[in-house]
Amino acid sequence: MKTLYQSPTDPDFVQNPYGFYDRARQDGPLHFWQDYGMVAAFSHNAVHMLLRDRRFGRACPAELVTDPAPHLAPFLAVEAHSMLELEPPRHTRLRKLVQRAFTPRAVEALRPEIEALCHQLIDQFPTQPFDILKSYCIQVPAITICRLLGVPERDAMLLVQWSNEIVAMYQAGRDHQTELRAAQAAADFSLYLRHYIDARRADPRDDLITRLIAAEEKGATLSTDELVSTCILLLNAGHEATVSTLGNGLRIMLQEGWETSWIAPGGIERLIEEILRFDPPLHMFTRYAYEEVEMCGHRFKRGDQVALLLAAANRDPEACPRADQFDPTRAPKVNKSFGGGLHFCVGAPLARMEMQIALPILLTRCPNLNLAEVPTFPPSYHFHGYSSVMVQVD
């Protein structure tokens, strides 16, 4: 196994990490990434196995858990009940309860509202160059999740601000100020949601918070802490994925050119899956070994952390011919952008539907949309999305 040296905050790497992934993958499926101090999986096969191997999981082994820093208490209180950070049996119980409320039928019922929202946002586009992320890509998922939860849509950008400050904790190079902002955002977000949870217990409505309160599995329901963490997770994960995928996809299409057949009913599913595969919103997902495991010629010890490079797996030519080419005409194939195994993103169906609605409406209404300037990625990693994409309608 080779030892690799690559700063995750290096400007060149942040703008295009795929060369690093390709070189690493050519030398083997697993390498020790010195800058992270852990083994990293670069091949599709290795990432696929690690996502599904129950000898690995998200929760840190109990003997390795250290005393938390007091200033992180509000953030860690949310993490303590998040499905993303839990393993069975708690994860199994929480996921079943959420799926009872977050059904395909409930997601599909949002379609007419999302379509109308897209048209409403486009009607408000300015004539001068503007940020399509701020005016459209952020608004669609943020307002949709507000409507889904049953909280005022006027609060959409407040929730987005809290979400951004919380997910910054997972980025490379976080500092003390990042931690303070995340803790405050977690405290504010939790207090906000508790107000609406209390209100729905007293006055049930036709919204997700009410359905989560009512969900029951073998007599068990979600606690208030679990309700808060679940709502925050749904916003953080769903919002981040949708915004970045739309932004990344638009950059590719507007810079390289696109075909109307891609956004037609027979092509849009392939387009979204290809955007997700080619330039996904999340590049790294970490797991812990729970026992001694031999995999791809490497022996993991209990407590070892491993980085799963989802974006590298998506570009593995062994799994996808011409993997370095953007080709929305290829048959859709399950990619690793939403994870896999028992931690496969519970909000993936909603995110996919939002993108399959938002992109065709945008490009049909604005066929002459162009980049006003070539966007660049902010200096951060594991998430991979633009902070702004300036466009103009010619």
The model's confidence at residue 36, banded by pLDDT at 50, 70 and 90, is very high
Half-sphere exposure of 249 (CA within 13 A, CB side): 29
The model's confidence at residue 331, banded by pLDDT at 50, 70 and 90, is confident
**Which residues have C-beta within 8 Å of that of residue 33, sequence separation ≥ 6?**
4, 6, 39, 40, 307
Q: What is the pLDDT of residues 180-198, one digit of tens each?
A: 999 999 999 999 999 999 9
The pLDDT, as a whole number, for residue 216 is 80
Cross-sheet strand order for the sheet of 390-393: 130-131, 390-393, 369-371
Contact 204, 214 (CB under 8 A): yes
**Which residues have C-beta within 8 Å of that of residue 388, sequence separation ≥ 6?**
131, 133, 134, 375
Strands 3-4 and 30-33: parallel
Q: How far apart are CA 119 and CA 123, in angstroms?
A: 6
The pLDDT, as a whole number, for residue 239 is 85
The enclosing H or E element of 287 equals: strand 284-289
Find the length of the chain.
394
The pLDDT, as a whole number, for residue 394 is 82
Ordered domains of the chain (ranges, CATH): 3-393 (1.10.630.10)
